[in-house]
């Protein structure tokens, strides 16, 4: 008998009903909500006179619009009245329906994809959805996790289910061991560079291989987080000791006998040895270099020792035009060395890279050094109030501040610039976020995606540099 993939197992365990037309009803264990994609869903419920199906499956927090300064002022600290209304609307919707929300002044508030795992509201084997494409992050725990639109947010609130069609299975296997200074972020950027931004469209990706197994949960979350930038709504890693160790003792994790029973089940959450994937992609982990994106799509990436490509050498006319357009927007020349790109700002944060390990890696690089005088700003935005507290307990805040980086309050911040943190027109930013689209970090802003260690090194030098030169 052919074995099952991890995705097959998760799918089967959440199948409420298979319909004749190929669609299926899939049960949702955990629904995470934030202020941007939920107001219209709650309004839809009210208009149809519907109630949430299962209140305790929902957990909410404001993250996209929150300011990263003056947090003690709470909602009054939000200067933009439109942003403020959106956060107030989330509060009133959660209050009205009795949904657990970590509000703006709660220390447990943070980026939704950081606080889910941190609180143990994300548990292995769960189906997890949120009106945010980076919900794939939770797949790091062997979860069936993906982003949804607002209509589906309403659908999950009202029915605790989604109508889905099963995706195809893809295995991305990263063999060997990663070199020094190479992180989960570099691995996922290298993967996207290889498969392309639409390479995973229609697939659920499982990340495997020794290099993935060797990563911490933070590293795995970074990789699954960016599955969507490779086109896959779902990115997953099988459960192992690292997963279970991370989950143990979290506020919402099971305890006692239930814990033992859960662990027994979680141990089954891996692909069978004889499982068949529709597509397999392999990478040599030991060959991956620290990555830097040069263009306006996450697939436009290269090693730090590399150069900006020459569109004249691209045979595919659509790709060639894409490169030409990207170089124009980014203000870069063909064949320009990556290390020659001068920076204006550095942003360390986002649901991709704002967890404690990310901050430790960045702090280790900047410790005892100073941010380059040529930079306008370098900022560190922790992923949650608890990450911030942990970092402060370890003294990381002081290391950042002494080096000349700003130490901010938690939120999505400059990853998408819905709050006050944004790039000016034409400014280049070394960013640990996930998208380098035109205008993503601010109108006319130019984003380069890198790891926290690479962003920290760039902050010190004022331009990109191989972080390994600053290590030891």
User: How many Å apart are CA 170 and CA 309, to the nearest integer?
Assistant: 29
Residue 406-445 contact track with another protein, rule CB under 8 A, x = bound: ----------xxx----------------x-xxxx--xx-
Between 405 and 416, CB nearer to another protein: 416
Site for another protein in 20-59 (CB under 8 A): 21-23, 25, 27, 29-30, 36-37, 39-40, 43, 48, 50, 53-59
Between 22 and 368, CB nearer to another protein: 22
Q: Exactly one of 254, 306, 311, 404 binds another protein (CB under 8 A); which one?
A: 254
Site for another protein in 151-170 (CB under 8 A): 151-152, 154-155, 158-161, 163, 165
Q: Which residues contact 378 (CB under 8 A, 6 or more apart)?
A: 345, 346, 347, 348, 371, 404, 405, 406, 459
User: Which residue, 141, 137, 135, is CA-closest to 269?
Assistant: 141
Q: Exactly one of 70, 76, 96, 98 binds another protein (CB under 8 A); which one?
A: 98
3-state secondary structure of 387: helix
Site for another protein in 77-96 (CB under 8 A): 80, 82-83, 85-86, 89
Least CB distance to another protein at residue 390 (A): 22
Residue 179-218 contact track with another protein, rule CB under 8 A, x = bound: ------------------xx--xx----------------
Site for another protein in 284-313 (CB under 8 A): 297
Q: Are 431 and 409 in contact, with CB atoms under 8 Å apart?
A: no
Between 325 and 468, CB nearer to another protein: 325
Give me 449's structure tokens.
């995606």
The DSSP secondary structure of 194-249, one letter per residue, reads HH-TTTTTTEEEEEESHHHHTS-HHHHHHHHHGGGGGT-SEEE----HHHHHHHTT
Q: Which residues contact 34 (CB under 8 A, 6 or more apart)?
A: 60, 61, 62, 63, 64, 90, 112, 130, 131, 132
Least CB distance to another protein at residue 21 (A): 4
Site for another protein in 55-74 (CB under 8 A): 55-59, 64-65
Site for another protein in 349-378 (CB under 8 A): none
The DSSP secondary structure of 47-96, one letter per residue, reads HTT---S-GGGEEE---SS--SS-GGGGGGG--SHHHHHHHHHHHHHHHH
Q: Which residues contact 325 (CB under 8 A, 6 or more apart)?
A: 296
Least CB distance to another protein at residue 350 (A): 13
Instruction: Kindly state the number of chain residues that form the binding site for another protein, as judged by CB under 8 A.
Output: 90
Between 2 and 318, CB nearer to another protein: 318
Binding part of the chain for another protein, among 143-151, 186-194, 271-279, 458-466 by CB under 8 A, reads 143-151
Length of the chain: 472
- Does 268 contact another protein by CB under 8 A? no
Least CB distance to another protein at residue 9 (A): 13
Q: Are 67 and 411 in contact, with CB atoms under 8 Å apart?
A: yes
Between 310 and 438, CB nearer to another protein: 438
User: How many Å apart are CA 38 and CA 156, to the nearest integer?
Assistant: 11
Site for another protein in 213-232 (CB under 8 A): 228-229, 231-232
Give me 411's structure tokens.
């939120």
Binding part of the chain for another protein, among 140-148, 170-178, 212-220, 349-357 by CB under 8 A, reads 140-148
In this structure, the number of other CB atoms found within 10 A of the CB of residue 305 comes to: 12
Task: Enter the DSSP assignment of 151.
Answer: H
- Looking only at the bridges linking them, the beta strands covering 24-27 and 15-18 are antiparallel
Half-sphere exposure (Cβ direction) of 68: Cα atoms closer than 13 Å: 30
Binding part of the chain for another protein, among 147-155, 182-190, 366-374, 388-396 by CB under 8 A, reads 147-155
Least CB distance to another protein at residue 387 (A): 20
Least CB distance to another protein at residue 14 (A): 9
Q: Exactly one of 8, 63, 118, 132 binds another protein (CB under 8 A); which one?
A: 132
């Amino acid at each position: 008998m052919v074995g099952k993939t991890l995705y097959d197992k998760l799918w089967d365990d959440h199948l409420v009903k298979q319909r004749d037309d190929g669609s299926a009803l899939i049960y949702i264990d955990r629904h995470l909500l934030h202020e941007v994609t939920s107001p219209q869903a709650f309004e839809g419920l009210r208009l149809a006179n519907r109630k949430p199906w299962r209140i305790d499956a929902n957990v909410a927090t404001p993250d996209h619009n929150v300011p990263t300064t003056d947090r003690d002022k709470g909602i009054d600290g939000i200067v933009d009245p439109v942003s403020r209304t959106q956060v107030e609307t989330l509060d009133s919707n959660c209050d009205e329906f009795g949904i657990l929300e970590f509000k703006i002044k709660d220390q447990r508030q943070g980026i939704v994809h950081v606080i889910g795992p941190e609180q143990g509201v994300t548990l292995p084997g769960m189906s997890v959805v949120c009106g945010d494409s980076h919900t794939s992050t939770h797949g790091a725990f062997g979860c069936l996790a993906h982003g949804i639109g607002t209509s589906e947010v309403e659908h999950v609130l009202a029915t605790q289910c989604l109508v889905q069609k099963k995706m195809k299975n893809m295995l991305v296997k990263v063999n060997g061991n990663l070199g020094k200074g190479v992180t989960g972020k570099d691995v996922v950027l290298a993967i996207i560079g290889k498969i392309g931004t639409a390479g995973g469209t229609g697939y659920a990706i499982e990340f495997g291989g020794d290099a993935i197994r060797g990563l911490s949960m933070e590293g795995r979350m970074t990789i699954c987080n960016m599955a969507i930038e490779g086109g896959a709504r779902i990115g997953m890693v099988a459960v192992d000791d690292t997963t279970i160790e991370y989950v143990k003792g979290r506020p919402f994790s099971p305890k006692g006998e239930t814990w033992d029973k859960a662990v027994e089940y979680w141990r089954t959450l891996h692909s069978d040895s004889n499982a068949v994937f529709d597509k397999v992609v392999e990478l040599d982990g030991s060959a991956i270099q620290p990555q830097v994106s040069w263009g306006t799509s996450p697939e436009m990436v290269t090693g730090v020792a590399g150069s900006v490509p020459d569109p004249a050498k691209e045979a595919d006319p659509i790709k060639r035009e894409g490169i030409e357009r990207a170089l124009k927007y980014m203000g870069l020349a063909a064949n320009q060395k990556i290390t020659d790109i001068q920076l204006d700002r550095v942003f360390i944060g986002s649901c991709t890279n704002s967890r404690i390990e990310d901050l430790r890696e960045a702090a280790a690089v900047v410790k005892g050094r100073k941010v380059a005088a040529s930079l306008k700003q370098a900022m560190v935005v922790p992923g949650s109030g608890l990450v911030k507290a942990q970092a402060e307990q370890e003294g990381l805040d002081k290391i950042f501040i002494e080096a000349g980086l700003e130490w901010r309050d938690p939120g999505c911040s400059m990853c998408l610039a819905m709050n006050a943190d944004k790039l000016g027109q034409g400014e280049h930013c070394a960013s640990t976020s996930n998208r380098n689209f035109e205008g993503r970090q601010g109108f006319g802003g130019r984003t380069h995606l890198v790891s926290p260690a690479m962003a920290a090194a760039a902050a010190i030098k004022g331009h990109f540099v191989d972080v390994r030169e600053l290590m030891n």
